[in-house]
Amino acid sequence: MRRPRRKQRNQMMPEHQPEMATDHLDIDAVNAFIDRDLPPDILALFELHLSNCPACHREVLEVHSTVLLLRGLPQYAPRRQFTLGQEHARAGRRRPQAAAASAVSSLPLSPLPAAAAVLPPKAPRGSNWLPGLQVAAMVAGVLLLLISVGDLARFAGRSPELQLAAPTAAAGLEQEVAEAPAAMPAPADDSSLAAFQSSDETRAAPVEIASDAAAPARKAAAVETDGTNALGGASDGVQEGDSPEQVNAEVATSLPGAAAITQVIPTLDDAANSASGTTSTSTTAPSSSGTPPSRLRIVQLGLAVILAWLLVSIVGLRWVRRLR
């Protein structure tokens, strides 16, 4: 399959006929001829040459056969389709925003509204429980807070030794409650929870020093011991800051409902007082003697357990939802 002698490229267009007749065709011209890419006038010359030159005829035949073979190569059927699913309908149009939002939400300290905005419009299975759980957690938290604070405020008003214990124990509990909503991303539309949270913070402010010392109470069992621990730090912290009377007054005035709730539970302010006393005696206060835990304390414990369980559920649901 020898290649015929070839004219210099771009001179396949013979100016004079004699040269065309004697010389062979350029490879580009052959390809142009096969692809029908030759202008008519040149085509005429080309064909004239072909009819007189077996070598060029042979070359055209070979190149043309090669082209036919290439065109005849099989196509392969892919094993699947490549159409895009409906998830691309949304993603394709709003991709930049979505990408930015998901980048934000992947940060550990993402702002709550951004995290809420990323949630897919169609909630995954199970997450329809989320609002209910949040409301339940809020209610449990408020109850627990009111009971504890009201309880402590009442007896703090009576027994001077325990004046310090009241705000600090409350601070321990408040911290737990205030911290819990922070741990779980609060929905943007849940204004009541936000309000609750912010009012909590203002209340807790006077005893911030004390609450720093208190380990966050995550387990129900830890509530009492935390309160006790907080007490130790609190006796210093609060004394440095506000006067005990001031703190007491603030707690008492800011929580009008707390007293009412403790009344609702028809016990035993005395027993409650003594129980609180028991927990605090270990560090500061001279004790009233070891009395059994009151019903109020049990209610508090129960509420704390429920609250912890709700919080764990909410955080778990959020986490699962974010994974999708």
With CB under 8 A as the contact rule, the residue among 5, 16, 36, 122 that binds another protein is 36
With CB under 8 A as the contact rule, the residue among 32, 138, 217, 234 that binds another protein is 32
User: Minimum distance from CB of 93 to another protein (Å)?
Assistant: 6
104 binds another protein (CB under 8 A): no
Q: What residue type is 172 in one-letter code?
A: G
Residue among 16 and 79 whose Cβ is closer to another protein: 79
User: Minimum distance from CB of 53 to another protein (Å)?
Assistant: 12
Nearest CA to 162 out of 296, 300, 269 is that of 269
With CB under 8 A as the contact rule, the residue among 55, 61, 221, 298 that binds another protein is 61
The one segment of 40-48, 161-169, 279-287, 297-305 that binds another protein by CB under 8 A: 40-48
C-alpha triplet 169, 173, 174: angle, nearest 5°: 110
Alpha-carbon distance of 229 to 214, in angstroms, equals: 6
**Buried (b) or exposed (e) across 252-288, using 16+ Cβ within 10 A?**
beebeebbebbeebebebebbbbbbbbbbbeebbeeb
Residue among 16 and 36 whose Cβ is closer to another protein: 36
With CB under 8 A as the contact rule, the residue among 5, 8, 15, 86 that binds another protein is 86
State how far the alpha carbon of 314 is from the alpha carbons of 215, 305, 309, 322, 323, in Å: 22, 14, 9, 12, 14
Cα 275 to chain centroid distance, Å, stands at: 42
82 binds another protein (CB under 8 A): yes
First to last CA, the chain: 64
With CB under 8 A as the contact rule, the residue among 17, 22, 52, 84 that binds another protein is 84
Other C-beta atoms closer than 10 Å to the C-beta of 46 total 22
227: left (phi over 0), alpha (psi -120 to 50) or beta: alpha
Residue among 2 and 16 whose Cβ is closer to another protein: 2
HSE on the CB side for 44, CA within 13 Å?
A: 3
Which uninterrupted H or E stretch holds 135? helix 130-158
89 binds another protein (CB under 8 A): yes
Q: Contact letters (x/-) for another protein, 220-249, by CB under 8 A?
A: ------------------------------
109 binds another protein (CB under 8 A): no
40 binds another protein (CB under 8 A): yes
8 binds another protein (CB under 8 A): no
What's the length of the chain? 324
With CB under 8 A as the contact rule, the residue among 12, 23, 33, 146 that binds another protein is 33
34 binds another protein (CB under 8 A): yes
User: Minimum distance from CB of 85 to another protein (Å)?
Assistant: 9
The one segment of 54-62, 178-186, 226-234, 305-313 that binds another protein by CB under 8 A: 54-62
Alpha-carbon distance of 171 to 169, in angstroms, equals: 5
C-alpha triplet 206, 208, 213: angle, nearest 5°: 145
Interface residue list for another protein (CB under 8 A)? 1, 3, 27-28, 30-40, 43, 46-47, 50-51, 60-84, 86, 88-89, 92-93, 95
